[in-house]
Amino acid sequence: MSLTTDHLESVYEQVISRNPGEDEFHQAVREVFDSLHPVLADHPQYVEASVLERICEPERQITFRVPWVDDDGRVQINRGFRVQFNSALGPYKGGLRFHPTVLAGTVKFLGFEQTFKNALTGLPIGGGKGGADFDPKGRSEAEIMRFCQSFMTEAYRHIGYDLDIPAGDIGVGGREIGYLFGQYKRIAGRWESGVITGKGITWGGSLVRKEATGYGTVYFTDHMLRATGRSFDGAKVLVSGSGNVAIYAIQKIQELGGVVLGASDSSGSVYDPDGIDLNLLRRIKEAQRGRISEYVEKRDRAEFLEGRNVWAVAEKSDVDIALPCATQNELDADDAAKLIKAGVVAVAEGANMPTTPEGYRVLREAEVLFGPGKAANAGGVATSALEMQQNASRDTWSFDYTDTRLSEIMENIHSACAETAAEYGREGDYVTGANITGFLRVADAVIAQGVI
């Protein structure tokens, strides 16, 4: 083994022993390390300055009790988290996830990914992430509000517009951001709009933030397609999920002439050979917070695939493009094989780490274009940073101006990843390009700021 490989493996072993049982965090670190061999071989200063060790250890991890009273008057206790991973490039920035599966390791993997994603945006934001093991499903409005207020009552003391700026993620959308911001304002006793992003448009939010992750993923994918002489026009597309990222990815794909044949939620998937009716899907998922099975009741030829993920649609139809936009590890080797058999040419991750390492290997071997989440879904956090810019200048930008900024940022991320990949002899390998570009930006700032 070379010295570089020895170093990467020994730091990786350290990550595993220091963070036992946190498999998703190990997976996220492994994926970045697998790209770094040539960089460390060329630049021994990163090894000498222990940069790998430093970027794998969060600067601060906060775990706290979230007590609240349910509608039956019973006391409920959840666990809240905020991981302030890396502030080399700016204040910690990243979403909050409310989902029953959230553990310390979940938030840690997301914070690690966020650090490099935020670096790729080229904007001055460090990496952080948070959340709670709270299940919003089946909870009343009043319960959601009480939970958010209790969460913020502790989170309040750890965040700030120059310190750490949360936003949404799974289970945290506009409604929850409203309750969280309201409680922050009440405790602080002042209006500090830059403390959280994803706010409502009339109270400090940015146009396009709601659409940004989905739109950005499609902009990134469109650049990958165009680089190989393809486009969305007429393409058959599968999108997993039916939440914030999925809905606006579908909207943009349809605007670009693509036909979305399937979407999903945690209960199953729908296959609509006539193309997803987005108004209907939004009515069910956004307005009524219903289950995706209701979709097929209103569409003649649509089928509900109970308990199956959306990649099962590839058993019924050709597929050109797949965008996993739901959750981590939702596209494995079998799913990848199914997509390849159906003719897939591009996969881009709207979600964070939705492809398993084996799934990625199968896609790579078949030379499927692959946009990793930290590049492809960076449009959400980038537009959060644009929201912070508007808050700082007490300004509001138009939809078109903000969307143009988003689209330029996604174009820059695409070209930075493509150029870095080519520079390291890996043309078209966006995983290597994203990991190396993000790493170099963070690593140089870490070294410049000394041992802190």
Ligand X SMILES: O=C(O)CCC(=O)C(=O)O
Ligand Y SMILES: NC(=O)C1=CN([C@@H]2O[C@H](COP(=O)(O)OP(=O)(O)OC[C@H]3O[C@@H](n4cnc5c(N)ncnc54)[C@H](O)[C@@H]3O)[C@@H](O)[C@H]2O)C=CC1
Position of minimal CB gap to ligand Y: 243
**Contact mark string toward ligand Y, 297..336, x via CB under 6 A:** ----------------------------xxx--x------
Torsion of CA 256, 259, 263, 268, to 10 degrees: -170
Rg (CA), the chain: 21
What's the gap between Cα 438 and its chain centre? 15
Half-sphere exposure of residue 409: CA atoms within 13 angstroms, side-chain side:
30
Per the annotation, the verdict on 117 as an active-site residue is: no
Q: How far is Cα of residue 193 from the mean position of the Cα atoms in its chain?
A: 23
Q: Which stretch binds ligand Y (CB under 6 A): 81-89, 262-270, 393-401, 431-439?
A: 262-270
When binding is defined by CB under 6 A, the residue of 105, 128, 131, 171 that contacts ligand Y is 171
- The region of 18-26, 142-150, 241-249, 429-437 touching ligand Y under the rule CB under 6 A is 241-249
Phi/psi at 448 (nearest 5 deg)? -60, -30
- Say how far apart CA 184 and CA 166 lie, in whole Å: 12
Contact between 351 and ligand Y by CB under 6 A: the answer reads: yes
Q: Nearest distance from residue 173's CB to ligand Y, in Å? A: 6
Q: Are 258 and 321 in contact (CB under 8 A)?
A: yes
Binding of residue 180 to ligand Y (CB under 6 A)? no
The residue from 102, 208, 245, 314 that contacts ligand Y (CB under 6 A) is: 245
* Residue closer to ligand X (CB basis): 55 or 167: 167
164 touches ligand Y by CB under 6 A = no
Query: Whole-number minimum distance, CB 335 to ligand Y, in Å?
Result: 12
Give CA separation, 145 vs 102, 139, 170, 180, in Å: 19, 10, 16, 8
Cα 292 from Cα 265, distance rounded (Å): 6
In the complex, the smallest distance separating the C-beta of residue 153 from ligand Y, rounded to whole angstroms, is 23
Residue (90 or 171) nearer to ligand Y, CB: 171
With CB cut-offs between 5 and 8 Å by kind, which of ligand X, ligand Y, none does residue 84 bind?
none
Alpha-carbon dihedral angle through residues 87, 93, 99, 101, given to the nearest 10 degrees: -20
Q: Which of residues 407-446 bind ligand Y (CB under 6 A)?
A: none
Work out whether strand 321-323 and strand 346-348 pair parallel, antiparallel, or are unpaired.
parallel
Q: How far is the CB of 251 from ligand X (least distance, A)?
A: 19
The reply on whether position 241 binds ligand Y by CB under 6 A is yes
Nearest approach in angstroms of CB 167 to ligand Y is 7
> Which of 108, 129, 236, 338 is flagged as catalytic?
129
Q: Collapsing DSSP states into helix, strand and coil, what is residue 243?
A: coil
Query: Which residues of the shown chain bind ligand X in the complex (CB under 6 A)?
Result: 93-95, 114, 117, 167, 169, 197, 352, 380-381, 384
Residue closest to ligand X when measured from CB atoms: 95
The three-state secondary structure class of 89 is: coil
Q: Which is nearer to ligand X, 170 or 256 (CB)?
A: 170
Residue 213 contacts ligand Y per CB under 6 A: yes
> What 3-state DSSP class applies to 1?
coil
CB of 129 to ligand Y, least distance (A): 9
Partner in contact with 350, chosen from ligand X, ligand Y, none, beta carbon below 5 to 8 Å by kind: ligand Y
User: Could you give the CA distance from residue 421 to residue 415 in angstroms, rounded to a whole number?
Assistant: 10
Among residues 145 and 326, whose Cβ is nearest to ligand Y?
326
Q: How far is the CB of 65 from ligand Y (least distance, A)?
A: 24
CA 324 to chain centre: 11
Of 139, 145, 165, 157, residue with least CA distance to 72: 139
Backbone region of residue 285 per phi and psi (left: phi > 0; alpha: psi in -120 to 50; beta: other values): alpha
- Catalytic sites, residue numbers: 129
**Interface ranges with ligand Y (CB under 6 A):** 168-171, 173, 213, 241-246, 264-266, 325-327, 330, 350-352, 377, 380
